[in-house]
Each structure stands twice: as structure tokens, then as C-alpha cells.
Amino acid sequence: MIQMFAQSFVNGVNLGALYGLAAVGLSLAFGVMKMMNVAHGEFIMLGSYIAYWLFMLFDIDPFLGIPIVAFVLFLIGAVLYKLLFSGMVTFHEELKLKNSLLVAFGLFLVLPEVAKLLWTGDERMLTPSYSGSSFGLFGVRFGYVPTIGLLVSLAVITLLQLFLNKTYFGKSARATADNWKAAKMMGVNDARTYIITFAIGAALAGIAGVLVGLSGALTPGMGIGWTIKALIVVVLAGMGSIGGAFIAGLILGVAEAVSAIFMGPYAITVGLILFLLILMFRPQGLFARG
């Protein structure tokens, strides 16, 4: 029984790291821009398919292709922001949120159709030679793909935190998040801050997409499930909490994996239960200030 719990815990940490990475880009964009991108899962889907293309057409290992996927999604995010979201930056916060939801919902409908045109609606599999391989330690199996994915997630989150805390852009983003008008008066280029923030959020979704593609089948409609997971994690952490989003993802992943021992396939409801409990008793989230 102890070994079963240990295996479930390890699986939960691996899954939770993926949840956290999938949510961080969404949390970053909302925290700085006060816009809700409900098409975030579609960016994850695009990241999965681009990694699939790189692997099948150019024989580029999915993990080695992560920088390419991130760069492509960064460009896609920047272009979509400029075309669809940039006109909302001066709106009142409530109006900005409503309009961004409507525009992002349009992307949610359009991007899967684009994916069908490029890759058809058939399921695809991203399966390098080491897929399914694992090693044992103290009676617990560690899959190569989820273990490397965990390390990638930790590295990405660490680099993101350093970038936001140690660079001029990071200071600009935090100042814009607190009060964009005051930041602009102090010389912060809010337009550049917003477009880079949105593009970074898309790039993070693309990185998550590579790991998602390695963990299951790829379909054009896969994005909605990851959008829901990301939203649950963001609410658990607190809107705009970057590091908290990753920790909340770990909590959710472990809770789902351990509860599966007793609940089987119904363990998926654990996330929704946590979501409701947080909304009822700590609506600001676990890691938000105040």
C-alpha cells in the first residue's frame, strides 16, 4: 500500500508540474494585462502539433525542439495580440476583461479549425524512441518522459521568475500590473510590455504543449480540457500569482493522482471540488496577498 501511495505521489508530481506549467502563461497574462485568454489551451494544442511536425518532418527530438516551439508560439502570440487585443489596453478593467473574453472565445473557435486544415482531425501521437521507458528507484517507477518534463517545467519556472525579478522588463511588467497609468507616467512603455507579456504567455503555453503532446494523443479539440485545467489552477493559486500557479498545479496533480487510488476515474472531480472550495472559503486564492 505504501508503494502504491509513493507511485501515485510521483505520478501526481509529474502531472502537477504539467498543470502548473500550462497555467503559468495564463496567470502571467492576466496578472499584467487583466485580460483573460480562454483560448490558452489552443496555444497548448498548437505547441503540441508544432512539436509533432518538427519530429515527423525534421526528426527533431521533442525536448530539443522546445526552443523552436517556444519561439514560434512567441511570434504567433505577438501577432494575435497586435491584431486582436492591443486595442483594449486603455479600457476600464471590467470592460477589458469582458472584451478579451469575447475575442479569446473567437480564437477558441477558430484555432481548432486551423489545426484541422493543417493536420486533419485524426489523432496523432508524438512518440520518440524512449516513450514508455522508465527506471526504478526504491520500488517506484520513474518514466523518462515525465521525469524530463518535470525538470523542464522546473527550469522554465525558475528562469521565468529570474526574468521577472531581475530584468528591467520584469520590473516594468510588475509596475504595469500594479498601475499601468502610473507606470506609463514613469516612462514604462506599456504597449511593448503588454505585447511581450502576451507573447511570453503564448510561448509558455507552447512549451507546455510539447510536454502534453508527449503524454497523450493529439487532436484539434484537445485545447478546451487544458484551458479548464489552467483556469482551475489559476483560481486555486490566486489570479496573477506566477509562482503560486506552479505550486497549485502540483497540489492539484498530487490530489488527483492519490485520490485515484480510492475514486478511480472519478478522481478527475477532485479538481472541481477544490475549485469550489477555494471560491467559497478563499476566493482570492491560496497564494494571493490579502
Mean pLDDT score, 262-286: 80
pLDDT for the residue 144: 93
pLDDT over 80 (residue 290): no
pLDDT for the residue 33: 87
The pLDDT tens digits for 179-193 are 777 888 888 888 899
C-alpha span between 155 and 81 (Å, rounded):
26
pLDDT for the residue 157: 93
Rounded percentage of the chain residues whose pLDDT exceeds 90: 57
**Which of 83, 63, 25 lies closest to 201, judged by CA?**
25
pLDDT over 90 (residue 150): yes
The pLDDT tens digits for 27-46 are 998 888 888 889 999 999 99
C-alpha span between 38 and 198 (Å, rounded):
13
The pLDDT tens digits for 154-209 are 999 999 999 999 999 888 888 888 877 788 888 888 889 999 999 999 999 999 99
pLDDT over 90 (residue 270): no
pLDDT over 90 (residue 244): no
The pLDDT tens digits for 74-102 are 999 999 999 999 888 878 888 888 899 99
**CA distance from start to end of the chain:** 40
Parse the chain into domains and list their residue ranges. 21-222
pLDDT for the residue 289: 57
pLDDT over 90 (residue 61): yes
Mean pLDDT score, 211-225: 94
What predicted TM-score, i.e. pTM, was given to this entire model? 0.93
Give the H or E element holding residue 141: strand 140-143
